Amino acid sequence: MADGSPASLASAPISGQVVSLLANYCWVELDRPGPTGLSRLLCTRRSRLGKRGLQICSGDRVRLEGLDWPAGRAAVADLEPRHSLLSRPPVANLSRVVVVVSLAEPDLDPVQLTRFLITAELTAQPVDLVFSKADLLPAEQVRQWCGRAENWGYRPLALASASGLGLEPLRQRLSQPGLAVLCGPSGAGKSSLLNALRPDLKLRVAAVSGRLQRGRHTTRHVELFALAPGALVADSPGFNRPALPEDPAALARLFPELRQRLAAGCCRFSNCLHRGDPGCAVGTNWSRYDLYAQCLADMEADAARGMRRGLVRPSTACQPGGSGLQNPEPGQARRVGRVEPQLDPRLRQVSRRRRRQDSEQLQSLEETSGADDHADELS
């Protein structure tokens, strides 16, 4: 067994968890403290990770090398396999997603809330819904929103960070072992919520914009904080328009109330999009049908725009797991995320390096020719 000395720590593999990303650096919490009790290192990323297409996210389990204990520095050599991933905000190895939206200041947008819930459901992890700033609305309106969310298949919590309303039930959920991620729009009060749960954090907060009634983006990066032994909570920057998945056929499985109906009976056609067509087992008599239909229309419009720009092929735009990228044809070239017409070589400008090489070659030929002429004169 390692004795904790510098020699034994140098020979043993060092691993830890990424707790925050800052520009090209990341802070890694070690699985066991190093010399002098050091438990956190500032790390860079090895370039070979980028060549392999590996992107480091907060929550990633990593292995370290090149440790400099006196300076508290190291380098991330490799990433361990992930068991879950939230695309935005990018967090890996999460075990719970907590969608936080405010009931007022700014007002709650059902379309925006649905998009956040869809993003959370894509992780295949438990999803919690929190209504913040519940003290700014009458109690009857708060109960109505909670009742709507229960019909959607969630167990919502209404809370107010300033008064402490509803904090203890949320603390119990977040204290379960694992990593919980707080996500939601700017100004929803995610950082204020963490300050109420852990006053020692003193995270930066700000009031919403008075003119636009939007958040001010005070949180700039994802960071993990310990809430209980074995329980971590990630604070994340807010954003206002979560992206939708590419496959319209997969949308229904991201609505809990639809999953329940589909479990009770299957549609007549396997490619049914649940718009109330004949043979559909879902129908249109459910509370979020209008929101579902709007999201479905947005996805189809995005796919149509992608096909017009040459980014999406009709055969892959609606297929699960399809990349959606068109293969280049003769006369075309693939760029990052798109296909463009290939430029005529006659229209390309000669690079400075090529001009320099041509000049050096011409100069060498002139010197060789001059030497030959001088030799002829002597002969």
234-259 pLDDT per residue, tens:
887 767 778 888 888 889 899 999 88
pLDDT at residue 342 above 70?
Answer: no
pLDDT > 70 fraction of the chain, expressed in percent and rounded: 78
Query: Is the pLDDT score of 125 beyond 90?
Result: yes
> How would you class 40 by CB atoms within 10 Å of its CB: exposed for 0-12, middle for 13-18, buried for 19 or more?
middle
Tell me the mean pLDDT in the region 39-53.
86
Structural domains of the chain ordered from first start = 6-81 (2.40.50.140), 86-235 (3.40.50.300), 248-327 (no CATH)
The pTM of the full predicted model, rounded to 2 decimals, is 0.72
pLDDT for 81 equals 92
Is pLDDT at 214 greater than 60 in this prediction? Answer: no
Confidence of residue 310 (pLDDT cuts 50, 70, 90): low
Report, in angstroms and rounded to the nearest whole number, the Rg of the chain calculated over CA atoms.
28
pLDDT at 364 over 70: yes
Average pLDDT over residues 187-204: 80
At residue 263 the predicted structure's pLDDT band, cuts being 50, 70 and 90, is confident
pLDDT band of 64, cuts 50, 70, 90: very high
Percentage of the chain modeled with pLDDT above 90: 25
Q: Is 158 in contact with 146 (CB distance < 8 Å)?
A: yes
Q: Strand 157-158 and strand 127-132: pairing?
A: parallel
Least confident of 20-34, 139-153, 208-222: 208-222
Nearest one of 181, 211, 201, 205 to 192, comparing CA atoms: 205
**Average pLDDT for residues 58-81, to the nearest whole number?**
90
Pairwise pLDDT comparison (59 vs 331), residue with the higher score: 59
Q: What is the mean pLDDT of the chain?
A: 79
User: What is the C-alpha to C-alpha distance for residues 286 and 282, in angstroms, rounded to an integer?
Assistant: 9
d(CA 158, CA 178): 23
Question: Residue 152 in contact with residue 256, Cβ under 8 Å?
Answer: yes
Coil, strand or helix at 12: coil
Going by the DSSP 8-state scheme, the letter that residue 137 receives in this structure is: S
Mean pLDDT to the nearest integer, 195-208: 73
Binned at pLDDT 50, 70 and 90, residue 130 comes out as: very high
> What pLDDT does residue 33 have?
87
Kindly tell me if the per-residue pLDDT of 127 is higher than 80: yes
